[in-house]
Structure 1
Amino acid sequence: MDLDPGLAALRPLGGFFVLRTTADAAPPATVPPTLAEAYAAPAADARRDALVLRVSTVAHRLRVREPRVSASLAHQGLAARLWSVALACAALYGRTPDLAPALLRWDATASAPDDLWLTGVRARPGDAATLADTVLHGHLEPLEQALRARYGIAAGLLRGNAGSALAAAARELGRRARASGRGDAAERARALTDALFAHPLLRPTGSRTGTAFRRRSCCLYYRVPGSSVCGDCCFTRPPGTSPRAPSG
């Protein structure tokens, strides 16, 4: 199936899978920066730095005081969006749009999932190597460099986020594709995900059993007020806590 200007096949999937394009509507009144700009060197005025704005937005909404925590969660949210869109297009169309950072505009102050706007649909192959080149090398590597420079986050944590986001995107895509009668797309997504996790940057991030994933790092979500560890965390309980004593 050829890519259409509005990527309409993604719409029934909803959530993290839908991507706005120039075919959907007129550009917003205030055009947001591209992801290429967000990954670049910090802006002289922090109020105009998209990455800083996103981390601040996440911190405010989750009541997080530690910048590294909100930076990690902002990273995971964007990684999930990018993997979801790329994987869904490859599974449904057999092709992916060019998702180069210079073509994707990002409203850093929007609610979750991250609001992305593709300024032109240009087809690329839908194989695992192209997905890795598009998402892992094209986005997550420069994003990792930017976050490490600004917030000092460990590379292993951010790569764990990348693996966790891919596993979650694949699991949800498979579920939604089968629910809509697209078992063929679900199988393509599974095969692509298997190939992606063979990549040397993703293979060490965790272990997989079927669609389940257990990461070897922690995204720090447990440090959000009122939260605990994630379902795929390397910890079984928040660090520093003791097992609950048996009652009775």
Structure 2
Amino acid sequence: MDLDPQLAALRPLGGFFALRTAAPTARQAPRPLPTLAEAYAAASPDGDGHPLTFRVRKVARALRAPETRIAASVAQQGLAARLWSVALGCAALYGELPDLDPRLLLWDPDGSAPDDLWLTEVRARPADAATLADSVLHAHLEPLAEALRTRHRLAPGLLRGNAASALAGAARQLDQWARVHGRTDVRARSRALTAELLAHPLLAATGTLTGTAFRRRSCCLYYRLPGAGVCGDCCFVRPPRSSPRAPSG
């Protein structure tokens, strides 16, 4: 199946997979939206007008985070999940990948999935694991991690763990959909690509994949939120009672 201009096959998979492919209307985005390339660009750490700073502060308020680095970790993992979902979903369903160049993706830092991203042009690329790694890991998650690390005290291993966890989560949801709908072809492609991507040098030491279950070696810091427990793939089985810093992986 070739890519269609609306990427309509992604919509039944849910909000994290859906991607708008037309410029937002004034009602959808009353103000000009930055590209993800602009969001990853360097800016003053105190500049609330910067899209990444705005997003982290928005997440911090919503979660009542006692430390901004917790919100930064959660925000990074959320964006990673969006990007992996789109990329893996297209690769498994279409056998092609849209060009996800950060300059082509508009981002609403005040939005939520699936209303936060717009792809301004659909251009087909191969759907092999190397292209997915280039399109998501290198083009997005590396500059995103660098931008966050200049503003917040986040260990590289934590951010790599978040990237792997987001990939595994997208793969698990896609696998469940494929099983329900009898799409053995989609299931096989998704599993093969996920295993190959998790063997990438940037992700290989982040955790263990067993079937579709992933156990990471680092913690995203979510347990530090008021009333929160641990995530399903966390390295901890229960929230630490006292820990000055979570392991970085």
Q: CA deviation at 1:29?
A: 3.2
Q: Higher helix fraction: Structure 1 or Structure 2? A: 1
Measured in 1, the distance between the counterparts of 2:10 and 2:113 equals 17
Measured in 1, the distance between the counterparts of 2:90 and 2:44 equals 33
- 2:3 alignment partner in structure 1: 3
Q: CA deviation at 1:77?
A: 0.3
Residue identity matched to 1:168:
G
Q: CA deviation at 1:91?
A: 0.3
- 2:61 alignment partner in structure 1: 60
TM score, norm. by length of structure 1:
0.93
Q: Secondary structure at the match of 2:208?
A: strand
Measured in 2, the distance between the counterparts of 1:37 and 1:43 equals 13
- 2:156 alignment partner in structure 1: 155
Measured in 1, the distance between the counterparts of 2:45 and 2:221 equals 29
| Residue 135 of structure 2 corresponds to residue 96 of structure 1 | no
- Structure 1 residues 238 and 45, CA gap change in structure 2 (3 angstroms): closer
Answer yes or no: is the 8 Å Cα contact 1:77–1:114 preserved in 2. no
- 2:119 alignment partner in structure 1: 118
Q: CA deviation at 1:158?
A: 0.2
Q: CA deviation at 1:224?
A: 1.3
How far does the alpha carbon of each residue in 1:143-171 deviate from its partner, in whole angstroms, 9 at most, with x for none? 01001011121000000000100111001
| Residue 40 of structure 2 corresponds to residue 36 of structure 1 | no
Residue identity matched to 1:82:
L
Residue identity matched to 2:157:
G
- 1:188 alignment partner in structure 2: 189
Residue identity matched to 2:92:
A
- 2:206 alignment partner in structure 1: 205
- 2:129 alignment partner in structure 1: 128
**Which segment is superposed worse, 201-210 or 108-117?**
108-117
- 2:220 alignment partner in structure 1: 219
How far does the alpha carbon of each residue in 1:81-118 deviate from its partner, in whole angstroms, 9 at most, with x for none? 00000000000000000001111111101135571110
RMSD: 1.7
Residue identity matched to 2:221:
L
Answer yes or no: is the 8 Å Cα contact 1:77–1:113 preserved in 2. no
Measured in 1, the distance between the counterparts of 2:82 and 2:113 equals 10
Residue identity matched to 2:175:
G
- Structure 1 residues 31 and 118, CA gap change in structure 2 (3 angstroms): same
Q: Which runs of 5+ in 1 are unaligned?
A: 242-248
Measured in 2, the distance between the counterparts of 1:44 and 1:185 equals 42
Residue identity matched to 2:78:
G
Answer yes or no: is the 8 Å Cα contact 1:78–1:114 preserved in 2. no
Residue identity matched to 2:9:
A
Answer yes or no: is the 8 Å Cα contact 2:5–2:122 preserved in 1. yes
What is the aligned length?
Answer: 241
Measured in 2, the distance between the counterparts of 1:98 and 1:31 equals 22
- Structure 1 residues 238 and 114, CA gap change in structure 2 (3 angstroms): farther
Q: CA deviation at 1:181?
A: 3.0
Q: Which runs of 5+ in 2 are unaligned?
A: 243-249
Q: Report 1:167-182 matches (<5 A).
A: 167-182=168-183
Q: Secondary structure at the match of 1:234?
A: coil
How far does the alpha carbon of each residue in 1:192-218 deviate from its partner, in whole angstroms, 9 at most, with x for none? 011111111111000111111110000
- 1:86 alignment partner in structure 2: 87
- Structure 1 residues 222 and 44, CA gap change in structure 2 (3 angstroms): closer
Measured in 2, the distance between the counterparts of 1:101 and 1:55 equals 19
How far does the alpha carbon of each residue in 1:120-145 deviate from its partner, in whole angstroms, 9 at most, with x for none? 10000011000000000010000010
Q: Secondary structure at the match of 1:145?
A: helix
Measured in 1, the distance between the counterparts of 2:21 and 2:175 equals 24
- 1:73 alignment partner in structure 2: 74
Residue identity matched to 1:173:
L
- Structure 1 residues 77 and 163, CA gap change in structure 2 (3 angstroms): same
- Structure 1 residues 168 and 114, CA gap change in structure 2 (3 angstroms): farther
Residue identity matched to 1:38:
A
Q: CA deviation at 1:43?
A: 5.0
